[in-house]
Structure 1
Amino acid sequence: MKQIGTTVLFLLFLFTSAFSQNFNQTVRGVITDQDSKQPIEGATITIAGSNPLKVIVTDKDGSFRFDNMPIGRIILHVSNVGYEKIILPNIVVNSGKETVLNINMQEAVAQLEGIVLTFDKNKGQPLNDMALVSGRSISPEQTNRYAGGFNDPSRILSNFAGVTSSQDGSNDIIVRGNSPKYIQWRLEGMQITNPNHFSDQSAVGGSISALNNNLLATSDFYTGAFSAEYGDVLSGVYDVKLRQGNNEKFESTFGLGVLGTELTFEGPFKKGYKGSFLVNYRYSTISLISNLGLAEGINGALNFQDAAFKVVLPTKQAGLFSFFGLAGLSNFLFKDVSPALWQTPGSRVVPNKIGEDYDKGSHLANLGMNHTLTINKNSHINTGLSFSSEGIDDNVFENFKTSTSESNQLNFNGRLRRSTYRGEITYNNKLSSKLKLQVGSKYALLDYNFNQSMFRDSTNVRSTLVNFNENISTIRNFISFRYRFNEKLTTVFGVQNMNVLLNNKSTIEPRFSLNWELSKTSALSAGFGKHSTMESIHHYFTQVKSSDGSNIEPNKDLDLLKAHHFVLGYEKRFSQNMMVKLEAYYQDLYDLPVANSKENIFATINEGLDFQYLDLVNKGSGKNYGVELTVERFFNKNFYYLVNASVYNSTYKALDGIERNTRFNGNYLVNVLFGKDFPKLGKTQNKTISFNSRAFFGGGKKIIPLLRGADGNLAVQPANNRFYDYSKAYENNIQDIYQLTMSVSYKINKPRATHEIFLNIENVTNNRARLTEFYDPGELGAVGYMKQGGVFPNLMYRVYF
C-alpha cells in the first residue's frame, strides 16, 4: 500500500509542477433540433454574467466555440427565433479537459413577439420529451457530487423520492415497493443486462456497478406510468447515456481508488473528422495489489474488472453511426461465510456442519449499434442492434467436522447463462410545431441455459433443481403522439403492444399523460398507463411431478403480469433554483403469478435469492400506493440541498385471499442531502473544496420470522427442516434504518491537468440495523442477523489531462 501511495504522490507532483499558471479551457458544442436531429444554424449562445459579455452564433453545422474560458462554473443562455429559450446552469469548466456540449432545442408552439419561453434542461426534467410524469434527469455531476454515490450510477438512484435499496451492501433498486427484478436497464436506448458485478441468480443486486460515472452523459430515470416506447417493465426504467468522446483533441483520465483503478482515453480519429472514440478500463484495486505481491490470502476479496466504450462515426449521406459496449468479470471466494455476511443459495441445516465456503463468479457483456438517419428536416429513423450476455456460477461447499477429521463437499451448484439478441427501429416525425409522431417495433430473442443442483434436506442425494436450454422470442410495437395545444398544455398519448411468442400471450397497453402549466411558476401533471412484463424465465420451464409421478411443465402457458399505473403531480418553482414537487401514485397489479395452492403464499413478486419451482397461476393481485414530496434547491451560488420523503404501501394477495405486505414494503423513507463548494482557493484561485452529506431514514424490508412459541422463545425444528413462521410472513420488519454519509473532495486545476481527490465515508455512525434473521445455533439464543453495512471509507484520486 505504501508503494501505491508513493506512486500517487509522484503523479500529483509531476502534473502540478510541469506547467505554467494559465487556467483557461475551451467550451464548445453542437445545437440540434430535438425532433428532427438537424443542426440549427444561427442560434445565439450567451455566457451569462461575463464581462465583457461573451456571445456567439452557431455555424451551418450547429457548432459553437468559446476559447480561453476561465475555469469555474458558467451559465449558458441559448436562443433562436422560433425555438424555446434554454438556460444551462452550472456548467463546470476544468483546465484538464475540454467542456463539450450537445444541446437539443424544442420548436416553440407560439411564436409571438413579446413571449419569452424558457426551458431549463439541467433542473431535473427528463431529456425524453415523451415523458411528462414520474421521471427526472440525472447528470454526471450529480453522480459525482452526491454523498454515498461511490461514483456508482446505481447507488445514486436511492437519493430520490420513492427509491430505496436493501441496505445490505447490494445495488438493488426498489421503486415504490416493487421488486428490484422488475427494473429495466437501458444503455444508449437499448435494453441491457443488470450492469452490476456479483449479481445474484435472479439477475438483480450485485455490489459494484460496471458502469462508470466518468463515461456518463445526462440520463433519465422513470418510476411509473411510462411512455409508450417502454414495454416489458413494471417497476422503473433507468435509461443510461454515454457521453461522446472529444472529437478534436486527445484526452485521458487516470483514477486510483479503494475500489478500482481505471484509465480512460478519448479523442478524434483524424483531424477535421467529427467522429470520436471513448474507452475506459477498470481493475479491482485489491486484485491489483494482490497481483503485485503486496497482499496475500485476503479472504473474500471482491475481484472484478470492467470495460466500456463508445465510438461515434458521422457520415455525410448515410447518417450517424454509434457503437457502444459494456463488459465485466467478477469473482470471490468466501471462506466460512455465514448468512450474516452473504446469503448463499441452497443453504440447508445438517448434523456436523460447521460452515460453508462460497465460490462465485459472474460475467456480463453488452454490445450495440445505433444508427440515426435524417429523412428530411422534420423526420428521422433510429435503428438499433445489440447483443447481451450474462453468466453466473455459484458453488457452495459445506464444511463438516467429526471427532477425528474435517471435510467439505459441494452442495449447491448453479450455472446460469443468458444471451439476448435485440433489434429495433423507430420512426420520428415532427408533423408540425404542435404534433410529434413516434412509432417503433422491437424484437428480442432470449436464449437461456440453466443448470442447478443441490442436496435435498439432510440426505446426500443430489437433486437437479432445473436443467434446460431454451429460448423465447418477444415482439413489442408502439405508437406515440405528443400534442402541444399551446405553450402551457402538452399531452402524450400512445399504445404499447407486447407479444410473447413462446405461448402466444399478448397485451394492448394504452398510455396517456399531460402537463399543464398553471402559471409561470407552477404546473400540474397526470398520467395513466397499463403495463406488463414477463416473469423470470425459469418459471416457464419449471418441472413438477404430477399425480401419476411423471414430470410436467405446468407454467408454459404463464401469462404476463400486469399493472395499471395512475400518477398525479404538482410542481411549484419558487425561483429559478428552488422547486417543490408533490406526486401521488396508485398501481393496481393483477394477473400476478402465485402458487397454485391455497396453502402456499408464494408470489413471484416476492422472489428472493433461492428460486422457487412451483405450479403457478395468474390469479394473484396487489397494489402499491403512496405520496412523494421533494424539496430541491438546485446547485447555485456554490451550494444545494435536496429533501424528499415518501410514504407508501405495497401489498399482495395469493390464492388464500389474505392481503399481505410484499417483502419490499418499507412504508416510508426520507432523504436529506446538502452540499457546499468553496471555489477559487489558493494564491492562483485554482483550487476547490466540496463538502457533501446525506442522511437517510427508512423502514426495512418485511421478513418471514423464525418460528417462536407463545413465550417468544425460538421453536425451530431443524430435524424436520422447519425454521420459519409462514403464518406471520411479511407482517413486520425487524428494525427501521438510518444512515449518515459524508464526503469531501479537493480539486486542483493546473494549466493542462485537473486533479481531484474524493473521500466518501458511508454510514459514519456505524449504525448496524438488523435486516433479516436466521437460525444460527452458534449465536446467543440461536438467532443470527444479517445487518446493515457498517462504516466504509472510499478514497479515490483522479487526474484529467
Structure 2
Amino acid sequence: MKYPVKINALETTVKTLCNLFIIGIITTSLFLPTTVPAEEAPESNGTLNGQVLDKITREPIIGVNVLIVNSRQGTATDLEGSFTLNQLSPGTYSLQVSAMGYLSAVADEITIQPNRTSTIEFLLEATTIQAESVTFTTGYFSNDSPDLPTSARSLRYEEVRRAPGAVEDVQRVIQALPGVAGESDQNNEIVVRGGDPSENLIIMDGIEIENINHFGYVGSTGGPISALNNEFLQDVTFASGGFSARYGDKLSSVLELNLREGSRTHFSGAADLGMAGIGGNLEGPIQGGRGSYIIAARKSYLDLIVGGGGTGLTSVPYYWNTQAKIDYDLTPRHLLTINTLTANDEIHIDDEEGSGYSRGAEKVDTESDRIIAGARLRSLWGVGYSDLILAGVSSNYFYDVFEIDRDASDRRTERRVFRQTVDEDTWQASFHWQGRGLGRDDWSAGAIWKPVTFDQTTWIESDTTVFNDGYLESLGIGYTNNNGALPDTFAYGDYINNDKLSSNKYGAYLQYRWRPTSNFSILTGLRYDGFELSNEHTFAPRVSMIYSPAPRWNITAAWGIYRQAQPLYQYEWGLDGINNDLKHIRADQYILGASFEPRSSTRLSMEGYYKDYSGLLVSEEDIVRETTGNYYFDSDKMLAERTRYAWGVEFFAQQRMATNWYGTFSYSYGKSESDDPAWGTYASSYDFRHVMTGVIGYKTTLLTNRWYMKQLSSPWGWFLKVLPINGNELMLSSRFRYISGKPHTARIWYSEGNPASPDPIYESHWADGPRNQANYSDYARWDLRLDNKHFFGKRSLTFYLEVQNVLNRGNVADYSYADDGEIDPIYQFRFFFVGGIRFEF
C-alpha cells in the first residue's frame, strides 16, 4: 500500500464537479428573466468616478481631458486629479485620458451598472518633452507597472469575468497568454516558459501569497477553484519574465492582483451563483466618503443540495471563503488599506469499490484552511510615494487515510493507516519607495522581512509488503528475509516524524531608470535575497531596455539573474537538519522582443527567451543507486546538483474591444531539458513544445434588431423569450487551445504475492531508461461561452452559460493503477456545461 502525502483534491472529484455544474445550470435557468419592456422598468443611469495620477509619484494630474471614446461626452480632472461622469446609460465603455506632457491612455471594457458608481484609476507616464503642446499616446496598451518592463500584459476585471473556458478564474484566464500552459484542467496552476509552478509569484495589493485557491496542497500554487472573489479586482498584470529587481525569491513570473475600492458614495450589493459557489458582496462609504468598504462571502452548494450520502458520488466537495477590503484616508496624502481573505475546504473520498480516484486508498479525508491578512499605508511625498506593508499568511493542511474492511458479520470497519498535519506561516514586513530621479528619470528601493514557520507531523501505520515476481531479485537486490527464496517479505514498524523549522527570509533592492530620450529607457537594478536557515546570501543584477525606433514600434530586451529558496518542506526533510544548508536555485534569463501596433487597439508582438537554471534538487540516494547499482544505499540528503535550460519563441496578437469585436491569438514553441548526476539528460516535466490558444468574442444586443423584435412578438416568440439571449448586452465568445503532450515517466505494472492466488495484488515500478521518456497524448479543447446582461430599473442581472470541451475530447491527465492490475486513464474535463448568474442592486 502506498499512502499519499500530497493529495490533489479535484483529481478525485472530477465527476462531482461535473454534477455541480449541471445543477448550477438548472438552478440559474429558473431565475432567468425574459425581456422587460422599457416603459415598465426604465433603466437607471450609472456614474463613473475616476482619478488620474502620475505613474511614478502617484501625484494627481490636474486638467486632464477625459473623453468617452466614440462620443462627445467628457470632462476634465480637478485639483485632486479626480473626475466624474454622470448619467451614463448602463453598458460597456472605453475611456481616453490625455494631458500635455504625458502619454495619453485608453481603458476599455469599463462596465456601468444601473444606480451604481464604477471607479477607475489611470496612471500616466510623463514624456521627456514638456514645453510643446503635444499629446503623445500609448493607446489601449499602456503598462501601468514600471517594474514590469518586458513580457507583461494587463487585464481589466471585465476581461477576467467574461473569458471563455476560464470559469471566471484569473489563473485560468492568463493561461491564454503566450508562454503559459496549465498543469491540467483539474488544477489552475500555471507553467511559465518551462518552469515549475512553484516559481510564480502572486501579489495581492502588495501582499505576497503562495496560493489563493481551494483544495491546494503543501508546496502548490494552484487548485481547482479560486478563493479570490473577482468582484474585488480592479486590474491584473502578469509578467512571464524579465521582471525588475523589485520582485524576489521567484524565478519565472509575477502575477499582480490590484484590488478596487468599495463605493465611497452609496451602498450597493450583489448576489451570485456559479462554479465558485453561492454568495454575494456588499460595499459602501465610511464616514461620509472618507473611506469605503467591500465585503464578500461564498460557499459551495452541491453539499447543500445532495448532502453526503445516497448520491452515488465518490465524494462531495465542501468549501467556503470570505474576503474584505477597507480603504480609509488618514489624511489627504496617507491612505490606509486593510485586506483579509479566509478560505476553508474539505473533501471526504469514500471509494470502497476502488474506482482509482482515491489512488489506492479506500477512504481519504482532507481539510485545509488559509488566512491572509494585511495592511498597507500608502503615503504621497510630492517627489514620490511609499508603501509600508504588514501582512501574514497562515496555511494548515490535514490528511487522513483509512483502509476499509469487512468483519465476520460483513459490517464495514475503518482503520486509519496514515495521518499528516502541516502548518505553514509566513509573515511580511516590507517597505517600497518610488520617486523621481534626475530629469525624467526615476528610481525605487525597498526591503522585505519574512519570518517563516513550517511544522509537519506524519504518522504511517506499520505494514508488511510481499513481493513475489522476482523483479527485485533480477536487479541483484538481495535484502530479503527468506534466504533469497521467494516471496520477498518486508516488515515496517510505525513511522512517526515531526519536523519544525522557524527562520527568517530577507530581501532588498535598488533600481534606477534612465530616460535620455522620449523613445529610449534603461532600467538597471540589484536584488539581495537571504535565508537565515541555510545561511544563503545572494545578489542578483538585472537590466531591461525599451526602445521605440518609430511610432507604434517597440523593441524590448532584458537580462537578469533570479534566485529562489528551495520549498520549505525540502529543508525540513530528513533527520538532524541534514538539508538545512540547501542553496538557492538560480536562473539566468535572456529576453529579446518586438511589438507593432497597426492601430491603437491592435498589437502584434514576438519575443524570444532563454533560461539557464542551476541548483535544482536531486536526491543523494538516487545518485548513488543509479550510478553504482548499490540499491542498499539509503539517504535523505538532497543535493542542489540538477540543472535545466528552457528556451522558446512566442507570438501574440491582440485586438482590444474598441468596437464590438475582441480577440487574442498566442503561439509558443519551447523546449525545456534537465540534467542531473542520477538520470543524465532528459526532457523536463514541463517540456511543452507547442502551446497555441485562440480567443474571439463579439458583443451585441438583439433588442435593437427590428426583425428579431418582430419574431419575439410572434405567436411562437415564447420560445425565444426563454432563451438566454434577450439582454441589453449579449456577448458570444469562444476559445480553442492546443498543447503538445506533456512528458512523463512510464510505470511497469506487476503482480505482488502468490501468483496462484485468485485475486492477486498489483504493484508498479518505474520503467528502465531515462526519465520522462514518454509523453501523454496531445491536449486540445474547444470552449463556447454566452454572456447576457439585463438592466432593469435600479438593478442588473448577468447570466453566463459555458460549454466546455465541446468536442468531448478525452485529454489524459494521468493514469490510475488499480490493485486488480487494471490501468485506466484519468481524463481532464470532458464535455459539460457551466453556468452562473449575478444579481446586482
Q: TM-score, normalised by structure 1?
A: 0.89
Alignment of 1:323-338 (within 5 A): 323-336=338-351
1:236 Cα deviation (Å)? Answer: 1.7
Look up the match of 1:159.
Answer: 176
> Residue 341 and residue 64 in structure 1: after superposition, are their counterparts in 2 closer, same or farther (change >3 A)?
farther
- In the TM superposition, 1:353-372 aligns within 5 A as 356-372=362-378
**Which of 125, 134, 138 in structure 2 is aligned with 1:119?**
138
> Given that residues 28 and 273 in structure 2 are in contact (C-alpha distance below 8 angstroms), is that contact kept between their aligned partners in structure 1?
no
> What's the CA shift for 1:298?
5.2
Residue 724 of structure 1 is aligned with which of 760, 766, 769?
Answer: 766
Structure-1 separation of matches of 2:749 and 2:624: 20
Describe the SS at the equivalent of 2:259.
coil
Summarize deviations over 1:243-269 as a string: whole Å, max 9, x none: 111111111111122541111111101
Kindly indicate whether residue 546 of structure 2 is the aligned counterpart of residue 515 of structure 1: yes
List aligned pairs for 1:656-671, cutoff 5 A: 656=678, 658-671=680-693
Tell me the distance in 2 between the aligned counterparts of 1:151 and 1:475. Answer: 35
CA distance in 1, matches of 2:678, 2:740: 27
Pick aligned residue for 1:491 from 519, 522, 540: 522
Shift of 1:766: 1.8
Q: 1:641: Cα distance to partner?
A: 1.7
- Aligned equivalent of 1:608: none
- The equivalent of 1:606 in structure 2 is none
Given candidates 767, 771, 793, the residue that maps to 2:833 is: 793
**Residue 214 of structure 1 pairs with residue 256 of structure 2:** no
Residue 617 of structure 2: which of 585, 593, 612 is its match? 593
SS at match of 1:158: helix
Counterpart residue number, 2:532: 501
SS at match of 2:657: strand
Do the aligned partners of 1:595 and 1:655 also contact (CA within 8 Å) in 2?
no
The answer on whether the counterparts of 1:466 and 1:542 sit within 8 Å (CA) in structure 2 is no
SS in 1 for 2:79: coil
Change (3 A) 1:224 1:6: closer
The separation in 1 between residues aligned to 2:355 and 2:248, in whole angstroms, is 37
CA-CA distance at 1:495 after TM superposition: 0.7
* Whole-Å separation in 1 of the counterparts to 2:519 and 2:355: 54
The residue type equivalent to 1:628 in the other structure is E
1:540 is the counterpart of 2:556: no
* Structure-to-structure mapping, 1:703-718, within 5 angstroms: 703-707=744-748
SS of residue matched to 1:154:
helix
Q: Distance in 1 between matches of 2:773 and 2:129?
A: 55
5+ residue gaps, structure 2, are: 1-21, 466-489, 627-633, 710-725, 751-759
Letter in 1 for 2:388: T
Number of residue equivalences: 761
Greater Rg, structure 1 or structure 2? 2
Q: Secondary structure at the match of 1:155?
A: helix
Q: 1:700 to 1:394 in 2, by over 3 A?
A: farther
In the alignment, does 2:294 pair up with 1:300?
no
SS in 1 for 2:748: coil
Counterpart-to-counterpart distance in 2, 1:491 and 1:374: 25
Larger deviation: 680-689 or 74-83? 680-689
Counterpart code for 1:77: Q
- Equivalent residue, structure 1, for 2:42: 21
Q: Which of 679, 690, 702 pairs up with 2:743?
A: 702
Is 2:150 aligned against 1:144?
no
Of residues 624, 645, 666, the one that matches 2:646 is 624
Query: Could you tell me how far 1:341 is from its partner in structure 2?
Result: 6.1
Within a 5 Å distance, the mapping from 1:4-153 to structure 2 comes to: 20-50=41-71, 53-113=72-132, 115-120=134-139, 122-123=140-141, 125-153=142-170
Distance 2:735 2:600 in 1: 24
Q: Does 1:385 align with 2:390?
A: yes
Q: Does the 8 Å CA contact 1:199/1:206 hold for their aligned counterparts?
A: yes
SS of 2:551's equivalent in the other structure is coil
1:436 alignment partner in structure 2: 442
CA distance in 1, matches of 2:335, 2:650: 40
- 1:450 corresponds in structure 2 to 456
Deviation by residue 1:609-652 (Cα, 9 ceiling, x = unmatched)? xxx98311122211011111112222232111211111111111
Q: CA deviation at 1:74?
A: 2.8
1:331 positional shift: 0.6
Q: Which amino acid aligns with 1:119?
A: T
Q: How many Å separate the matches in 2 of 1:284 and 1:323?
A: 26
Check conservation: 1:378, 1:430, Cα contact below 8 A.
yes
The AA in structure 2 aligned to 1:216 is L
Aligned to 2:6: none
* Counterparts of 2:353 and 2:625, CA distance in 1: 27
Asked if residue 563 in structure 1 is aligned to residue 584 in structure 2, the reply is: no
Specify whether residues 613 and 278 from structure 1 end up closer, same or farther in structure 2 by C-alpha distance, changes over 3 A only.
Answer: farther
Q: Which amino acid aligns with 1:388?
A: V
Aligned partner of 1:397: which letter? F
Whole-Å separation in 2 of the counterparts to 1:500 and 1:447: 13
AA at the equivalent of 1:324: N
Displacement of 1:274 in angstroms is: 3.2
Classify the secondary structure of the residue corresponding to 1:729. coil
Q: How does 1:639-650 map to 2 (within 5 A)?
A: 639-650=661-672
1:601 and 1:486 map into 2 onto residues whose CA distance is 60
Q: Secondary structure at the match of 2:302?
A: helix
Residues 16 and 148 of structure 1, relative CA distance in 2, 3 Å threshold: farther
Q: Could you tell me how far apart the structure 1 residues matched to 2:294 and 2:209 are?
A: 19
User: Whole-Å Cα distance in 2 between the matches of residues 474 and 341 of structure 1?
Assistant: 41
1:474 aligns with 505
CA 153–534 in structure 1, closer or farther in 2 if over 3 Å, else same: same
Counting only pairs closer than 5 Å after superposition, residues 717-796 of structure 1 correspond to structure 2 as: 722-778=764-820, 782-796=822-836
Query: 8 Å contact 1:34–1:105 — kept in the other structure?
Result: yes
Q: Secondary structure at the residue paired with 2:130? A: coil
- Displacement of 1:487: 1.6
Q: Percent identity?
A: 21
Q: CA deviation at 1:594?
A: 1.6
Partner of 2:262: 245
Query: 2:790 and 2:817 mapped to 1: Cα distance?
Result: 52
Summarize the Cα distance change of 1:63–1:340 in structure 2 as closer, same or farther, 3 Å threshold: farther
Question: SS of the counterpart of 1:142?
Answer: helix
Distance 1:559 1:334 in 2: 38
- 1:139 shift after superposition: 1.5
Q: Distance in 1 between matches of 2:270 and 2:68?
A: 27
TM-score, length-normalised on structure 2?
A: 0.85
Structure 1 residue 322 displacement after superposition? 0.4
Query: Structure 2 CA distance, aligned partners of 1:274 and 1:227?
Result: 34
Question: Quick one: distance in 2 between partners of 1:402 and 1:290?
Answer: 30
Instruction: After TM superposition, list the pairs within 5 Å mapping 1:268-279 onto structure 2.
Output: 268-271=285-288, 273-279=289-295
Name the counterpart of 1:690.
731
The C-alpha deviation readout for 1:570-591, integer Å capped at 9, x for no partner, is 1111111221111111100012
**1:677 shift after superposition:** 1.1
Q: Provide Cα deviations, 1:65-102, integer angstroms capped at 9, x if missing partner.
A: 11112233333221223222222233232325322112
Counterparts of 1:600 and 1:182, CA distance in 2: 28
Residue 236 of structure 1 pairs with residue 253 of structure 2: yes
1:678 is matched with which residue?
A: 700
Residue pair 1:661, 1:730 contacting (<8 A) in 2 also: yes
Alignment-derived partner of residue 5 in structure 2: none
Letter in structure 2 aligned against 1:177: G
- What amino acid is aligned across from residue 68 of structure 1 in structure 2? Q
- Output the amino acid matched with 2:686: F
Query: How many angstroms apart in 2 are the aligned matches of 1:147 and 1:601?
Result: 48
User: What displacement does 1:279 show?
Assistant: 0.8
Match of 2:597 in 1: 573
How far, CA to CA, are the matches of 1:19 and 1:366 in structure 2? 46
Rounded to whole Å, the distance in 1 between the matches of 2:816 and 2:778 is: 18
Quote how far apart the aligned CAs of 1:19 are: 7.0
Alignment partners' CA distance in 1, 2:24 and 2:551? 58
Equivalent AA in structure 1 for residue 527 of structure 2: Q
Could you say which residue in structure 2 is the equivalent of 1:352?
A: none
Deviation string 1:507-547 (CA, Å, 9 cap, x unpaired) is 1000110111121121110011101111111221222xxxx
1:614 and 2:614 are equivalent in the alignment: no
Offset at 1:112? 4.7
In structure 2, what residue type is equivalent to 1:587?
K
Secondary structure of the equivalent of 1:249? coil
Q: SS state of the match for residue 287, structure 1?
A: helix
Q: 1:568 to 1:339 in 2, by over 3 A?
A: farther
